[in-house]
Structure 1
Amino acid sequence: MSATTVLTLSEGGIADLDDVMQVMHDSFDPTYGEAWTGPQCAGLMPMPGVWLTVARLGPQIVGFGLGRTIAGEAELLLLAVARAAQRRGVGQAILKRFMSVAKRRGATRLHLEVRDGNPALALYRTAGFEEVGRRRNYYHGFGGQLYDALTLARAS
C-alpha cells in the first residue's frame, strides 16, 4: 500500500456479495476447488453468529473474511485477498479482525480449515494456529486431483 492508500476494514453484508465474489474468483485458483459459490455465501450470511468483514483500498473491496461463532467457538470460513492486493498486509489485517470479533462475541477457541500447501498457511501459523486434524482428499481440484484439508485451531 502506498502512503496515500488507506486500508479500511468494516462489517459487510449481502449488498457486498457481488464484490466479494469477484475477489473470491480472482484469489482462489480453480485448480484446487476451494472457492464457494454466490448462493453458498448468500445462504450462510443471514444465519445467526455469521459475520462478513470487507477490506477496502479506497472504495474498492480487495479482500474479505467470513466467520461465525457458535457455542463459544469461532470458525474462519473464508479469507480471500485479490491478487493485486496480496502481500500487502490485507490478509493479516482481516485475520486480526476475525480474531478480535470472535473474542468480542465470546469465542474461546478459533478454528479454520485450509488446503495443505496453501501459501496462507504461513499467515495462520504466524498467528498461532496449529494443525489439529487432516481431512484426506477433501478438496476436489480441476481434472480430478485431490488435496488434503488441514484443520487448524488456537485459543482466542
Structure 2
Amino acid sequence: MLVVMADAFDPRFGEAWSGAQLTGTMIQAGSWTRLAIDDDLVVGFTLCRRIVDETELLLVGVRRDWRGRGIGSILMATAATEATGFGARSMFLEMRDGNAAAAQLYHNQGFVEVGRRRDYYRGVDGQRFDAITFRRNLDVAS
C-alpha cells in the first residue's frame, strides 16, 4: 500500500500516510482494506473503518499508470458492498478541495457533499485547502 500511495498521491499535498499510520488504523476493530492486484502487482487499494452503522472510506488510491481502467470505481463499489454487509447504513469520505478527478469519482459512486472544513489541509508549500466531506447512503436490507 505504501508503494501505491507514493505513486498515487501528489507529494505537494502531503496526503500519503506513513507506515505507522496505516498499521495503527488497520489493527483497529472495524477496519479493513482491499487490494487491487494484477499479476502480483498491487495497483490500488482502499482502507475503511466502520463504527456502528457508519463507514468511513479513509483512503483510496490507484497507481497513476493504472488510472482510467475502472479500478477506483471497483474498489469503492466493493467497499460499499462490504460496508453494507457489516451493517453500515452510510459511508463518508473526505477529500482536499481542488482534487477534481477524485470528486468526479466520488460523485459517480453516489456520494454527495455534506460539509466543508475551511483551511483544513496544508500543502508542503504552506497553501491551505478546504476539506470536503461526502456522504453516500448504503442499501441495507430491512
TM-score (norm 2): 0.94
Partner of 2:63: 82
Matched, 1:141 2:123: yes
Q: In structure 1, what is the Cα distance between the partners aligned to 2:14 and 2:114?
A: 22
Stretches of structure 1 lacking an aligned partner (at least 5 in a row): 1-19
Stretches of structure 2 lacking an aligned partner (at least 5 in a row): none
Alignment-mate amino acid for residue 131 of structure 1: E
Q: Residues 22-61 of structure 1, C-alpha deviation per residue, up to 9 Å, x if partnerless?
A: 0001110011121111100011101100001000112100
Partner of 1:51: 32
Partner of 1:15: none
Cα RMSD after superposing both structures = 0.7
Matched, 1:27 2:25: no
Q: In structure 2, what is the Cα distance between the partners aligned to 1:58 and 1:136?
A: 42
Query: In the alignment, is the contact (CA less than 8 A) between 1:27 and 1:81 conserved in 2?
Result: yes
Partner of 2:112: 130
Q: In structure 1, what is the Cα distance between the partners aligned to 2:30 and 2:3?
A: 24
Q: Residues 76-102 of structure 1, C-alpha deviation per residue, up to 9 Å, x if partnerless?
A: 000000111111111011000010000
Shift of 1:117: 1.7
Q: In structure 2, what is the Cα distance between the partners aligned to 1:61 and 1:101?
A: 20
Alignment-mate amino acid for residue 17 of structure 2: W
> Which aligned runs of 4 or more in structure 1 are off by greater than 3 angstroms?
none
Shift of 1:127: 1.2
Query: In the alignment, is the contact (CA less than 8 A) between 1:32 and 1:147 conserved in 2?
Result: no
SS at match of 2:95: strand
How many residue pairs get aligned? The number is: 137
Partner of 1:154: 136
Partner of 2:52: 71
TM-score (norm 1): 0.86
Q: In structure 2, what is the Cα distance between the partners aligned to 1:154 and 1:44?
A: 22
Percent identical among aligned pairs is 45
